[in-house]
Amino acid sequence: MTLGDDLDAALPELRRQAESMMRDSCTIATIVKGAWDEITLTHSVDVETVHYSGPCKLKGVNAVIGTVDAASQILVAQEAIVSLPVGSSTTVDRGMVLTITECRHDPALVGAKVTIGGPTPLNTYSTARRFRIEEVA
């Protein structure tokens, strides 16, 4: 038996262990802004398509990755990583919106929305799918 065979055999259990650490829940969706109505001067209802709903784990990476100048306000951009189960998150992609729906250890995070910035480097023996997420605060 080779090391590769050992890793192949162990990977399902390692993924179960990684998923056991995903104590929060989230939804990840694409959101299409509703059409502009010239009569009411409002947007119609946004269309949200959910691509993932289930467990997740959040981990802060950088407290400050840079500043953003928006409408004469200096905002701080923060970066973090979200971990998702490998098998059930295959349609998640850059630009989607993640909403925290349950957070066991910090209820104040429920309802927080962040943007999926892209996957972390590829990994053959990954125990979770990891994505960079960004929140502007």
Model confidence pLDDT, tens digit, residues 78-100? 678 999 999 899 899 999 999 99
Would you call 57 helix, strand, or coil by DSSP?
Answer: strand
**Distance separating alpha carbons of residues 54 and 89, to the nearest angstrom:** 9
Please determine, for residue 125, whether its predicted confidence score (pLDDT) is greater than 60.
yes
Closest CA to 25 of 56, 62, 69: 56
Question: Which fold would CATH assign to domain 3-136?
Answer: Thrombin, subunit H (2.40.10)
User: What is the token pair recorded at 102?
Assistant: 């349950």
Rounded to whole angstroms, the Cα distance separating 100 from 84 reads: 13
Predicted confidence (pLDDT) per residue in 6-63, tens digit:
999 999 999 999 999 999 999 999 988 878 888 888 878 788 899 999 999 999 876 5
Q: Please report, for the chain, the start and end positions of each structural domain, with discontinuous segments joined by +.
A: 3-136
- Can you give the pLDDT at residue 78? 65
pLDDT above 80 for 110: yes
